[in-house]
Every structure is written in C-alpha cells, then in structure tokens.
Amino acid sequence: MKLRRKRVKPIGLKDITIIDDTKLRKAITAAALGNAMEWFDFGVYGFVAYALGQVFFPDASPGVQMVAALATFSVPFLIRPLGGMFFGALGDRYGRQKILAITIVIMSISTFAIGLIPSYASIGIWAPILLLIAKMAQGFSVGGEYTGASIFVAEYSPDRKRGFLGSWLDFGSIAGFVLGAGVVVMISAIVGQDKFLDWGWRIPFFIALPLGLIGLYLRHALEETPAFQQHVEKLEQGDREGLAVGPQVSFKEVATKHWRSLLTCVGLVIATNVTYYMLLTYMPSYLSHNLHYSEDHGVLIIIAIMIGMLFVQPVMGLMSDKFGRRPFVIFGSIALFILSIPCFMLINSNVLGLIFVGLLLLAIVLNAFTGVMAATLPAMFPTHIRYSALASAFNISVLIAGLTPTAAAWLVEATNNLYMPAYYLMVIAVIGLATGLLMKETANKPLRGAAPAASDMQEAREILQEHHDNIENKIEDIDAQISELEAKRKNLVQQHPTINE
C-alpha cells in the first residue's frame, strides 16, 4: 500500500507575523506591571517578616516567630498548582489577556486584605488563620500570573528579540521588590519602630490596591496575542487535528509526550526561584535575625543590590538573543556552585563592603537565570497547550522553591550553622547545571506551533532567507548522505556473486 504524503506549503513573507511595535510596548508594560505587583507583595512580606512574626505569633521565641512568619509565606505555594491548572486551562481555551486581567484583580484584593487583618492580641488564633487564607488566595492567583505573563510577552515578541523583551518581565519582578523594600524602609523611618510594629506594617499592603487597579486598566485594554489568534483561526477554519487535541492537556500527557520540556521547566524554575527567594526574601531576615544588623540596615543593602540587578537584567536578555539561552543557564549554575560558600564567607565577615560584594555576586548569578527564564519557558510547549502545560509544570516546581525561606531559616536554627544556605544553593546549582545540559536551544527560533515573528518587513525577509538557506543546507547534507550510501551499496553489490545492479 502506497502512502500519500501531505504536501507541505512553502513558507512566504505573508506567513511571517509582523509585530506591531505599539501593541508590543503595551503588552510588555502591562505584563511587567502585574509581575511587579506580585513581587511587591513577596518583597514586602520578606522585609516585614520580623514584624508579622511579632504581630501574629507573639507567644513564640524570636527564632520561632521568624520561621512561623516565613512558613506562612511558603504554605500558599501548595495552592499554586491548583491555580495554575485552573487558570492554565482557561487561558488555553479563552485566551491569555482575559485570564491575566482576572489574576491581577484577585492578587491585589488578597494583598490589600492582609493589611486589614487584626493582630493576635485582638482576635487570637483567627489572626494567623486569616493571614493564611489571604496568602492562599494570593497563591491561587499567582498560579496563573507569572506563566500567563511570560506567555503573553513571548507570544507578542519577535523571534530575534524574545530574550531581551522577555527579560523585562523579571525586571518588573525586581522592581516590585525594590518598591516593596523602599516602602518598608520609608514608612519605618517616618513612623518609628514602635508605631511600625503597631500599625505601620499595614500600609505597604494597602498600596497593592491602587497598583492592581492600574494593572487591570492596562491589561483590559490589550488585544490577544498573535500566536493565540492564529490558533483560534485554525480552529475556526476546521482544523480537525487542532479540534481533536483541544485546549486542555493532562499532566500525564505532558510527562509522556513533552517529558524533556517538562524536565527543563522544572529544573530552570527550581534553580531560578530558589536563588531568588534565598537572596531577596530570606536574606533580609538572615541579616537582621542571624547577623544582628538592624532591620532597616539589612533592607538597605538588599535594595542597593536589587537596583544593580535592574541594570544587569535587560543586558542578560539582550545577550541571550545573541549567544543563546543555554550558555547563561550553564554559566549561572557553575558560578552558583563555585561562589556560594565564598559569598557567604563575605556576608558573614562583619565588613559592610565585603557583605555587599558577597550579595552582589549572588545577584549577578541570579540575573543569569532571570535574564533568560521568561523567554525560555514559553518556547517549550506548543500553542494549544502552552498555558495549561507550563502553568502546571511551573507551579509544581515552585513548590520546592517556595520552601526556601522556611527551610533555610529552619536549617540555620537547627544546626546553628550560618553556612547552611550556601550548601542549599550548591545542591540547587547541580540541578541547574543538569538543566542547562539537557535543554534545547530556543533563541532566535519561532515558538512551537506558531508562525515566525519579525519586527518589520526587512527582518521578515532576513528570516525567510535564513529559512531557505537552512533548507538548502539540509538538502546538501541529505545529498551527501545519499552519495555515501550509494557508494556503500555499490561496494556491497560487488561483493555478492548473484546481485546485479
């Protein structure tokens, strides 16, 4: 039986998506602001953990207060996979823009609610319970936030600039941390330590509401991404294969059909977010509680580090468009393994300049991961399952990362060893290195299941020419292999007495 091959239609200029520059800027601004909102809360929570420990867990010792407050930070990560599966399925069915508008509303309201919760002295055990409920609502919304925002930016970005443009998403994350830290320091300085513990800590959480309203306005005005619009058009034109696959995918299918993408996602998320939470969430508490710096002093050091990261972040993304994503993951992992102990030796030196250098080195390593993550993750899965698959894999992975502040605080308390966070990071570095070696390069390539995307017509012509040159090179390789096989065949025929050519 002779199989009929489906004729492949040649790719022309009309098949390459030209990205509208104005829409692209709006998409990046809206996505980055929502991400800043998410990390504003995480930053504030890490910087006021000492205050929350006293307000919500007043009967515990200072060490237990710190662990308990950070545990409340970590527990909501258990709910994130549910939010990821819920919003991921909706995002693949109804579009990215609608879901991102919903997640920022839930996130801003739940963050605002934390500032309204009475203290333990006022309502007893209900205080930490309400805090936990608010944090779980945040976890549910965040389950669809980062992955949705990274997909939104990636699907709007031209192929040759996806690393640079994607890096602005985590620029928003770092900016959110800076804003959160700056607000904490400013309010503490204005009202004083006693009043800050009494009521001043609530103000940063109240700021979340107006930020959320601004983010909602920007996201509501956005159009759907070009890649998702193309997917919808195929379904409307009767693409039976697309209809059969459907917009949802089970985690079992991701694990079997997309196992390499899944492992890459898990490894990169763990390596990035453990380093993130260790440096930006746990370290202020480490400096104040374990090294006995004043809270404001420790926060100011971290703020200076994060401001430096803001300048490095887009540079990493830009360089990844030139040199690829894999080199940065591999370099960052090796550097993290080698530098973790030396950096913590500097941090524990009691010399301000050396402390700054130790934290700065860790921050640069972190930039190597964050500079490429938002561009790398969405490129792993095809359009019709991208949101649901990535959200599920991302949020299951981040369960491990979310335990970082609690685990680091507990390990230091249990062992009385100030270098336990360094050992923790070294283990994570091994995971990151394995990820970098396993992952496929995605730089300057179209997203899976999407048409090539260019900034303008000239770039589209260059992409088309590169595509044709690549086809020609593959044909030449195949011709060379055919010639080699024909020579081998001729040699074998000559060795057989009864076979004639």
Strands (E), 269-383: none
Q: Residue 83 and residue 71: Cα distance in Å, rounded?
A: 20
Q: Each residue of 305-316: pLDDT tens digit? A: 889 999 999 999
Q: What is the domain-level CATH number for residue 224?
A: 1.20.1250.20
Over range 409-429, report the average pLDDT.
Answer: 92
Q: Each residue of 434-489: pLDDT tens digit? A: 999 989 898 888 888 777 888 878 888 887 788 777 788 888 889 888 988 888 88
Number of domains in the chain: 1
The reported pLDDT for the residue numbered 3 is: 46
Is residue 318 domain-resident? yes
The reported pLDDT for the residue numbered 369 is: 94
Over range 37-49, report the average pLDDT.
Answer: 74
Q: Residue 478 and residue 473: Cα distance in Å, rounded?
A: 9
Is residue 465 domain-resident? no
Q: Which domain holds residue 276?
A: 18-229+249-455
Is residue 331 domain-resident? yes
In the predicted model, is pLDDT for residue 135 greater than 60? yes
The reported pLDDT for the residue numbered 136 is: 85
Is residue 76 domain-resident? yes
The reported pLDDT for the residue numbered 65 is: 64
Over range 186-211, report the average pLDDT.
Answer: 86
Is residue 487 domain-resident? no
Top mean-pLDDT range of 108-117, 230-239, 396-405, 488-497: 108-117
Q: What H or E segment, with its residue span, contains residue 452?
A: none
The reported pLDDT for the residue numbered 317 is: 93
> Is 104:159 a contact under the CB 8 Å cutoff?
no
What is the residue-averaged pLDDT of the chain? 82
> Is 205:41 a contact under the CB 8 Å cutoff?
yes
In the predicted model, is pLDDT for residue 168 greater than 60? yes
Q: Which of 170 and 296 is assigned the larger pLDDT?
A: 170
Is residue 96 domain-resident? yes
Q: Each residue of 375-387: pLDDT tens digit? A: 999 988 888 788 8
Which residue in 247, 344, 235 sits closest to 286, CA to CA? 344
The reported pLDDT for the residue numbered 244 is: 44
What residue spans of 48-61 are helical by DSSP H? 49-56
Is residue 257 domain-resident? yes
pLDDT category, 334, cuts 50, 70, 90?
Answer: very high
Q: Which residues have a Cβ under 8 Å from the Cβ of 262 and sit 6 or more positions away?
A: 254, 255, 389, 393
454 forms beta bridges with: 18
Is residue 466 domain-resident? no
> Is 67:413 a contact under the CB 8 Å cutoff?
yes
Q: Each residue of 220-253: pLDDT tens digit? A: 777 777 777 777 776 666 544 444 444 455 667 6
